[in-house]
Amino acid sequence: MALTFPFSAIVGQDEMKQAILMSAVDSTIGGVLVFGDRGTGKSTAVRALAALLPKMQAVVGCRYGCDPASEGSACPDCAALRGASRARLASHLIPVPVVDLPLGATEDRVVGALDLERALSQGVKSFEPGLLARANRGFLYIDEVNLLEDHLVDLLIDVAASGENVVEREGLSVRHPARFVLIGSGNPEEGELRPQLLDRFGLSVEVRTPQELEARVEVVKRRDAFERDPAAFSLAWKKEDDHTRRMILAARKRLDSVIVPDAARQGAAKLCMALGTDGLRGDLTLIRAARANAALQGDAQVGGTHLRRVAACALRHRLRRNPLDDTGSTTRVDRAVAELFPG
Ligand SMILES: [Zn+2]
């Protein structure tokens, strides 16, 4: 298998890396929307992080990559096998999947469909799993999510939120696990996402072409070194990648015990009120992201520092446009944060 560019070797893009790390720690945050220029390696960080995560135990032959230890979320195939044999299902290690959703993918291709070939040749109604099945327990990456049909984006967000794909059609009724972190990239200049869809993504980040000379030179230098000798380059970054992996695993363990004091909840609510975000999704995401951030830092409870750190990526895509004020959303969030959480 080809080597993936090491996560630690990515120059800058701190907010993007932080957002993906938080999603990897708490998948209920609701995915990441990445806005930015072409050619800034938006998908690199996702692939790098997935490659860095430890391989997972999965049931041998399962098309959904079910976790053998989790009976509750087993697919129909595994549930049937388990019921029939009462034996432990054989398992093997698989890498964390990153599935690309190609532009123009049909709904059938995404959610799965009736296996026509089997239906015609054997007269058997069976299910041909789609991309959502392959993405189970991993990442689903959509390049240019703004060019995807709205109903498909809606559907993807629904499945990502519920962790389950339900297909009812052509006499088929299938339900299978589809837990994944949704990562969508968009070019702000090419069509915009409806605000209702924007709001359903947990976090959003902006990735820019580096404007500092040093950073640009470093990006090119590392990319070149990697392409010339991927093995040597990966080895050179192994220690830092190992460190990041341990940090994620520790944060996942710690997450449930991180305390969210009422003061932090109030802080989050005040910030959302000051910015006039609709509904409560902003408050909820802000708290979840701050908790994941605290878990990654090894902190026992959520405080102003964590809220401050995650506010822009949890809220900037939820702001209503003010026709009298064309200040960018990041600036507006930063301003409100500075007023509410000085220091
Ligand atoms: Zn299964």
Which two structure tokens, joined as six digits, stand for 163? Answer: 């962790």
Which two structure tokens, joined as six digits, stand for 240? Answer: 């830092």
Distance between Cα 2 and ligand 1 center (Å): 27
Distance between Cα 140 and ligand 1 center (Å): 19
pLDDT interval class at 37 (50, 70, 90): confident
| Bridging pattern class, strands 164-169 and 172-177 | antiparallel
Greater confidence, 40 or 296? 296
Whether 56 has a pLDDT exceeding 90, the answer reads yes
Q: Tell me if 186 sits within 8 A of 153, measured CB to CB.
A: no
Q: What is the mean pLDDT of residues 249-263?
A: 97
Whether 195 has a pLDDT exceeding 90, the answer reads no
In percent, how much of the chain has pLDDT > 70?
95
Provide the phi-psi class of 135: left if phi over 0, else alpha when psi is between -120 and 50, else beta. alpha
pLDDT interval class at 84 (50, 70, 90): confident
pLDDT digits (tens, 9 = 90+) for 125-145: 888 999 999 999 999 999 888
Distance between Cα 57 and ligand 1 center (Å): 12
Q: What is the mean pLDDT of residues 1-17?
A: 89
Distance between Cα 53 and ligand 1 center (Å): 21
Which two structure tokens, joined as six digits, stand for 57? Answer: 């135990």
Q: How far is Cα 285 from Cα 291, in angstroms, rounded to an integer? A: 10
Distance between Cα 115 and ligand 1 center (Å): 18
169 classed as catalytic: no
pLDDT computed for residue 146 by the predictor: 83
Q: For helices 14-25 and 44-52, give the axis angle rounded to 10 degrees.
A: 40
pLDDT computed for residue 190 by the predictor: 64
pLDDT computed for residue 295 by the predictor: 98
Distance between Cα 131 and ligand 1 center (Å): 15
Q: Tell me if 177 sits within 8 A of 163, measured CB to CB.
A: yes
pLDDT computed for residue 41 by the predictor: 75
Q: For helices 262-275 and 329-340, give the axis angle rounded to 10 degrees.
A: 140
In percent, how much of the chain has pLDDT > 90?
57
User: Catalytic one among 281, 288, 318, 332?
Assistant: 281
Which of the given ranges, 10-14, 154-158, 289-293, 321-325, has the highest pLDDT on average? 289-293
**Amino acid identity at 72:** G
**Amino acid identity at 150:** D
Distance between Cα 72 and ligand 1 center (Å): 11
**Helix or strand holding residue 59 (H, E):** strand 56-59
Whether 80 has a pLDDT exceeding 90, the answer reads no
From the list 193, 247, 329, 270, the residue with the least C-alpha distance to 286 is 270
pLDDT computed for residue 209 by the predictor: 84
Greater confidence, 213 or 210? 213
pLDDT digits (tens, 9 = 90+) for 109-123: 999 988 878 888 888
Greater confidence, 80 or 140? 140
Q: Is 55 helix (H, G, I), strand (E, B) or coil?
A: coil
Q: Which domains does the chain have, with CATH numbers?
A: 7-55+95-208 (3.40.50.300), 255-340 (1.10.8.80)
Whether 108 has a pLDDT exceeding 70, the answer reads yes
Q: What is the mean pLDDT of residues 142-152?
A: 86
Whether 254 has a pLDDT exceeding 80, the answer reads yes
pLDDT computed for residue 191 by the predictor: 62
